[in-house]
Amino acid sequence: MSKTTIKNMNTISAYFIYMFRVMWYVFLILATIFFAQYDSDRFIYWDSYGGDKSQKPVSSVK
C-alpha cells in the first residue's frame, strides 16, 4: 500500500473513532436522563433509612 493510502486509512479510522466516542457520550447522556426517573431522594443531606439504622449506607452528601 502506498503512503497516501495508509494516511487516508488512518484519517478515516480516526474519524470513525471520534464519531464513536461522540455517539457513546450522547448515548450516556440520554440514558442518564432516562434513568434519572428511577432516582431516589434517600441520599439528600442525610439518610432517612427506616428500620435497621445500623445497616444504612452512608450519604455521599456530607
Partner 1 sequence: MTDFHLYHFIALVTIAIASWRLPEHWQLDGISLISTGFICFFSPAAAIILFISSAIVYSISCYRSKNSSWILLGIIYCVIQFLTIRYFQTNLSQDSDLAVPVLGIAYFTCRHIHYLIETYKSNIRPNLRQFWHYQSFLPAIVTGPITRYPEFIRELDRRRWDSVRASLAIERIVYGYAVVVIIGNYSIYHLIRQQILIYESNIIVYAWLKSLYSWTYLYAQFSGWSSVAVGFSLLIGIRIPENFNRPFLATNLIEFWQCWHISLSSWCKDYVFTPIVSTTRKPLIAIIAAMIAVGIWHELSIYYLLWGTYHAIGIALCRKFQQHASRFGTFTKSIIWKPIAWFLTFNYLVGGSPIISTIARWMNFHV
Q: Which residues contribute to the site for partner 1 (CB under 8 A)?
A: 25, 28-29, 31-32, 35-36, 38-41, 43-46, 48, 52-58, 60-62
Calpha distance 59→40 (Å, rounded): 12
In whole angstroms, how close is the CB of 1 to partner 1 at the nearest point? 32
Closest separation in Å from C-beta 10 to partner 1 = 20
Question: In the bound complex, what is the minimum distance in angstroms from residue 5's beta carbon to partner 1?
Answer: 30
